[in-house]
Amino acid sequence: MFRVTQRTMYSNMTNQMNSNLSAYMDSQMQGSTMKKVNKPSDDPAGMARILKYRNTIDRAVQMEQNSDAALGWLQLADSTLSKTVSSTITEIKTLAEQAATGTYTAEQRNIIGDNIRQQLETLLNAANNRYEDKTIFGGQNYNDSAFEMGLGVTATSWGKDGVEATQPNPPFQVSGNLTKSIKIRFPSEDDKTANESADLKVGTIFEWYDFSSTAKEEKDRWMTGTVRSGENESLVLEVGNANTGKATLTLPAIVDRGTNSEPMVPGQFRHQQTLKIKEYAEDVTKKEDDATYLYVRPAVIYQGDDNNALTRVDQLGMQVNEYATVVDGNGTTKQVTAQIKTKSPSNIQIQVTGVDSTTNTMTFSYSVDNGKTWVQDNTAEITNTTAHLDLPNGGYVDIAGADQLAADDFISVRNVEAEVSGRFSDNIQIKFPKDADIVTNNLDFAYSVDNGKTWIEHNTAKIESNKNARLILPGGYVDITAADMIKAGNQMVLRPQRTDVSFTVLEGQTITVNNVGKDIFGGLYTDEYGTTLNAMYDQDDDQSKLNWEQRSPNTFEVIGRLIGYCETNNQNGIQRALEALDVSQKKVLSYATDIGGKENRLESTLTMLGDKKYNDEARVSSMEDIDVTELMINLIQRQTAYQTVLQSSSMIMQLNLAQYL
């Protein structure tokens, strides 16, 4: 039997009351917050899970918002393409059909040209459409307009490097403003020898048609101009006057771009471009194709960014330009060290024609274009067994061990170069953990798609007999020349041009919401080297230019030419453009279909997200929310317990022997 003392009794009663009351208050707290987990210690593991679910739900909400935003972008693009753009093209087609009718006069075609100009404005506005103030057809360059109105040049019968061109746009850059299209021709000097092929050069006389002229005679409306030289060895043609507006046609010099991995310093290695033209002679030239006509007409120029720009490859840690292989007259190979002190050209072939040990000189010829052309009879001095070979533009090659060279030695100075194919969404880093294995012809590499944080290792590329190797990467591949020269620790970074605005709509799934406008509408654009290019043209099968022009899917260019032909009264041209309009409309609609498909995908994504969120919310609720029935029962139980303690305590407290004495 246990001896019960007052102290024990009272402290026990106090403790019991306290513990019952605190349990009661816990239930009351749960009731007030409607949660069973009110602090981490209520359910430590559950708390962590609740937080995790809350994060998941938070992300799902974000993805819902992303999907909504994506849907907004896509719906706008869809309606723009399938409604505005398509119907406008249809209208232009109707107008072109009229203009193509043989009975129409120049004046009537002119009026139609004006109409089409207005329709082109509508198309331009559609192509510049913005969602939340961002251009939807401009790639990632979405703060500026995707397209701008400008001038372009179409030509008939022109050539390049002696070959007749297979596309109507000669590489002119046009600036200025014309109220109407202008035609340019090149008169034959003696006015007799027609169809004469000549080079376009400084001093070449040309004639442009002044449509504002009031001269009675047709031939008096042709104004004369002279080709002059412009900046950086370019050729310039100026046309127009105060009434017609003025335009400047610039034929830029060709810039040797060096290689992908090693761009040239601008201004270096620039040479004048040659254009072949057919001269015009009054009596001989009958047909449009008989002479070169330049049509300066409206063009839409793409301002956004594009994804066919090259992926830039930064080669890091490669001691470039220092590998040289010598093959002597007997075909034996030996290695010497060469140091090139200029950036370009990167691959140099040197043919030693003689070594004179008395004068310490060496004669050689070299080629910087892989042996196509050779620069003969050069002399290099040999100082302390190093030959110093001068190259144009201040560059030079130093070859160590030149005293061992003999006539007929063929030196090939090679550089590691990389060429990339494929589309990459982000930068890729490549590193080479060990030297290229020239025995097994294997090249080990590792790559990283998260900026070097984690590496995918143990990949092997085969070094081919031409010393090239192809590294397969997610999204494409890189071809490396002189792969046998790779040393351990070399790195490369592929930096692709990116155009996609893409939102994450499901974990690990993104959707691209914008488009590269030039892939849909065409137009002209300027590449990363500043060259004006036709945004798209079919290069397949038959390359006869007329056929090509009829098949062009480049909507803006087709319409630009159409306007040019209308305003210069060229019925054949109008017909060609009319056929091409069908092709370009199909192109636009096929993009609309693609976008529609994305919209459908998004709709189902939204449903999925909603379901997932609902599920997760239900799970969190089951973890953290109180079951009200259970709570009520608990409350009643605890109330009862508390009451019991109070009651029994009060009864015991009243009892005392003293009362009975």
Partner 1 sequence: MSSLNSLMNIGNSALSSTQTAIHTTGNNIANMNTVGYSRQNVLFEDRYAQCGIPGTLGQGVNVQGIYRNFNRFLENSYLDRFSQQNRWSEQNNILETVEAVFNEANSDGINNAMNNFFNGWNTLVTNDLDASRIDLLSNAQQLSSVITNSAQSLKDMQHEMESYIAQSVDEINELIENIKDLNKQISMHSGAGENPNQLLDARDIKVRDLASLIDIDVIQREGDFTILTKSGHTLVQGADSSFSLKVGGDRIEKHLKNPNDPKSYKGTIEISGSSSHEYLFEIVTPPATGKNGTMRVSLDGGKSWVKDDAGKILEVEIPEQPSTQNNPFPIYLNDTNITVSFTNGDPTTLVQGDRFEAITKTSVYWVDPTREPLNVTPMVMGDGTDNTNRLTGGKLSAYFNVKDATIGSYLERLDALSKSLTWEVNSLHSIGSNKTMTEVMGTYKAGYADKPLGKNTSGLDFYNRLTEGNLSFQIYKNGKTASDDGVLVDQPVFSQIQFDPQKDSLQDIAQQITACYTDQNYTYLTASVTADNRLSLKAAEGYSFIVADDTSGLLAALGINTFFTGSTASDLAVNDIIAQDTDRINRGKVQPYGNNTEGDHSVASNMWDLSTKQVKISTPWETRKDQTLSDYYGSTVSLVGTDKRTAQFNTDYNTTLAEDLDAQCSAISGVNIDEEMINLIKYQHSYTAAAKLITTADEMMQTLLSLKQ
Cβ proximity to partner 1, 149 vs 310, nearer residue: 310
By CB under 8 A, what part of segment 32-61 binds partner 1? 33, 35, 37-45, 47-52, 54-55, 58-59
Minimum distance, C-beta of residue 317 to partner 1, in the bound complex (Å): 5
Residue 221 makes contact with partner 1 by CB under 8 A? no
Residue 550 CB neighbour total at 10 angstroms = 18
DSSP conformation letters of 163-183 = EE-SSS--S-EEEE--SS-EE
Closest Cα partner for 412 from 366, 458, 456?
A: 366
Residues between 544 and 573 with contacts to partner 1, criterion CB under 8 A = none
Residues 410-429 that bind partner 1 (CB under 8 A): 426-427, 429
- Distance between CA 317 and CA 327 in Å, rounded? 27
Binder among 193, 199, 205, 266 for partner 1 (CB under 8 A):
266
Q: Which is nearer to partner 1, 99 or 264 (CB)?
A: 264
Residue closer to partner 1 by CB (options 12, 385) is 12
Q: How far apart are CA 108 and CA 98, in angstroms?
A: 9
433 in contact with partner 1 (CB under 8 A): no
Residue ranges in 364-403 that form contacts with partner 1 under rule CB under 8 A: none
Site string for partner 1, 508-537 (x = CB under 8 A): --x---x-------------x---------
Distance CA(352)–CA(45), nearest Å, equals 79
Peptide bond into 252 cis (omega under 30): no
Between residues 6 and 105, which has the closer beta carbon with respect to partner 1? 6
Q: Round to whole Å and give the CA distance between 587 and 138.
A: 17
User: Would you give the DSSP letter of residue 411?
Assistant: E
3-state secondary structure of 499: coil
User: Of the candidates 130, 134, 160, 221, which one interacts with partner 1 according to CB under 8 A?
Assistant: 134
Q: Is 595 left (phi over 0), alpha (psi -120 to 50) or beta?
A: alpha
Q: How far is the CB of 532 from partner 1 (least distance, A)?
A: 15
Non-local CB neighbours of 292 within 8 Å, separated by 6+ positions: 155, 156, 157, 158, 185, 186, 277, 278, 279, 280
Does the footprint of partner 1 cover residue 234 (CB under 8 A)?
no
Helix (H) or strand (E) holding 615: helix 571-624
Task: Name residue 366's beta-bridge partners.
Answer: 350, 375
Q: Return the number of other C-beta atoms located less than 10 Å from residue 643's C-beta.
A: 12
The nearer residue to partner 1, 449 or 469, going by C-beta atoms, is 449
User: What residues contact residue 589 under an 8 Å CB cut-off, 6+ apart?
Assistant: 81, 82, 86
**Amino acid symbol at 470:** R
Tell me whether residue 276 or residue 518 sits nearer to partner 1 (CB atom). Answer: 518
Q: Which of 153, 155, 277 is nearest to 204 (CA)?
A: 277
238 strand-pairing partners: 248
CA angle at 136 for the pair 134 and 138, rounded to the nearest 5°: 95
Residue 50 or 227: the one with the smaller Cβ distance to partner 1 is 50
- Report the residue number, 49 or 93, with the smaller CB distance to partner 1: 49
Instruction: By CB under 8 A, tell whether 93 contacts partner 1.
Output: no
Q: Which of 305, 444, 549, 616 binds partner 1 (CB under 8 A)?
A: 305
Nearer to partner 1, 225 or 258 (CB): 258
Measured between alpha carbons, how far is 484 from 183 in angstroms, rounded to an integer?
56
Joined together, the tokens standing for residue 343 give 């950036």
Residue 363 in contact with partner 1, rule: CB under 8 A: no
Stretch 319-358 residues interacting with partner 1 (CB under 8 A)? 320, 343
Instruction: Give the footprint of partner 1 on residues 445-464 (CB under 8 A).
Output: 448, 450-453
- For 490, counting Cβ atoms within 10 Å of its Cβ (0-12 exposed, 13-18 middle, 19+ buried), the class is buried
Q: Which is nearer to partner 1, 341 or 586 (CB)?
A: 341
Q: Does 311 sit near partner 1 (CB under 8 A)? A: yes
Q: How far is the CB of 312 from partner 1 (least distance, A)?
A: 3
CB of 139 to partner 1, least distance (A): 7
Selected range binding partner 1 among 234-242, 443-451, 468-476, 640-648, rule: CB under 8 A: 443-451
Q: Is 87 in the site for partner 1 (CB under 8 A)?
A: no
**CB 402 to partner 1: min, Å:** 25
Q: Which is nearer to partner 1, 327 or 608 (CB)?
A: 608
Q: How far is the CB of 101 from partner 1 (least distance, A)?
A: 45
Under the binding rule (CB under 8 A), the answer on residue 488 touching partner 1 is: no
Q: State how far the Cα of 74 lies from the Cα of 233, in Å rounded to an integer.
A: 46
Size of the site for partner 1 (CB under 8 A): 90
